[in-house]
Structure 1
């Protein structure tokens, strides 16, 4: 079994590669199926890096439009989902560089995936104060803490902790070693713990 087949998410129906091939011939329905499969995952990644639903909704549309236009350049050297994650990551980083200002975190900005994230489980197990916080309160505090991380640290937290990608998958998307991913996660977790220390008692 190839590394790609081991890591590609499992969906019913045609596999990603078949859908990509059909999309490359102009099959809109095939591409719509790829969008359906990965929309929530790409949204989650972008939201994890921007802490803004509005920006995430805009950027996820841009990502899938860009991917559609670039499908002719997809050479199957990686899985489709790694390829689309990389497009989303680069698009989001470039967006934040252009904006060049810190986001205002809204109390209403709520990501339903946060409750299943590794960061939430880690922090919620550590103290009664955090366990008494509402999920929306935790989201607000986590958003503010996430925005203080570097772009690369925020990316690995969003992909590994929130989206559930393995160290190897995250490394492939970011084109770095697994050791680098683990190091970025370690320092990101340390910083998040420091930022949330008053809530974990």
Structure 2
């Protein structure tokens, strides 16, 4: 027997916000602020940029709220807005003369060689350690691996967002995984 999916728990709040109720939208922000921060942290771990990205995500969601359809889970819809906001931020930074991606220098030295071999205090937990390691990847690698493995975005969609060919996206994903493996080995993780 087929059972209908459970109604979206955010539906009453979203409907009230669509009708112009700012208090309802404030409650939505309270519910999802930490989730948006965790998601967008992968695009920029810098606190000031992160706060701006979270705020920008909610502003875009407010403006697009009339377009939301109850057939789609609200949380999924909001996460897609956050990912697009993170990708736009990444593209803006990529073209900035002040934030070049980490690439091997002309002498062939890999900037990963300059990283300390120590991890944060183990008592702080595995999540903080993972964030520490990921923070040392170039922003492009961090964004690509996050979208591909944590957000499970299809490679074709990632390529489209970044303006790459699908083959170029595959190559970049392969190289990003290699750099991540180098970091993990440097920090004492055994890989199969």
Scaled to the shorter chain, the TM-score interval is 0.5 to 0.7
Counterpart check, 1:141 vs 2:133 = yes
CA shift for structure 1 position 2: 4.4
Q: Where do 5+ consecutive residues of structure 2 fail to align? A: 103-116, 159-169
Distance, in Å, in 1 between the alignment partners of 2:53 and 2:24 is 21
Q: Report the counterpart of residue 182 of structure 2 in structure 1.
A: 194
Counterpart check, 1:152 vs 2:144 = yes
Q: Report the counterpart of residue 94 of structure 1 in structure 2.
A: 88
Distance, in Å, in 1 between the alignment partners of 2:70 and 2:133 is 40
Distance, in Å, in 1 between the alignment partners of 2:59 and 2:12 is 19
How is 1:161-200 mapped onto 2 (pairs within 5 angstroms)? 191-200=179-188
Q: Which has the higher contact order (CA 8 A, sep 6+)?
A: 1
Q: Report the counterpart of residue 85 of structure 1 in structure 2.
A: 79
Q: 2:50 aligns with which of 53, 56, 73?
A: 56
**Which protein is richer in helix relative to its size?**
1
Provide the alpha-carbon RMSD of the alignment.
3.5
TM-score norm. by structure 1 comes to 0.60
Q: Report the counterpart of residue 61 of structure 2 in structure 1.
A: 67
Distance, in Å, in 1 between the alignment partners of 2:148 and 2:27 is 27
Q: Is the 8 A contact 2:40 2:50 kept in 1?
A: yes
Q: Report the counterpart of residue 36 of structure 2 in structure 1.
A: 42
What's the CA shift string for 1:130-156, capped at 9, x where partnerless? Answer: 7x7425676433311263516332224
Greater CA radius of gyration, 1 or 2? 2
Q: Is the 8 A contact 1:63 1:91 kept in 2?
A: yes
What's the CA shift string for 1:111-144, capped at 9, x where partnerless? Answer: xxxxxxxxxxxxxxxxxx87x7425676433311
Q: Report the counterpart of residue 25 of structure 1 in structure 2.
A: 19
Q: Report the counterpart of residue 164 of structure 2 in structure 1.
A: none
In the alignment of these two chains, the number of paired residues is 150
Secondary structure at the counterpart of residue 31 of structure 2 = helix
Q: Where do 5+ consecutive residues of structure 1 fail to align? A: 9-14, 105-128, 160-166, 176-182
Q: Report the counterpart of residue 121 of structure 1 in structure 2.
A: none
TM-score norm. by structure 2 comes to 0.63
CA shift for structure 1 position 89: 0.3
CA shift for structure 1 position 61: 0.5
Q: Is the 8 A contact 1:50 1:103 kept in 2?
A: no
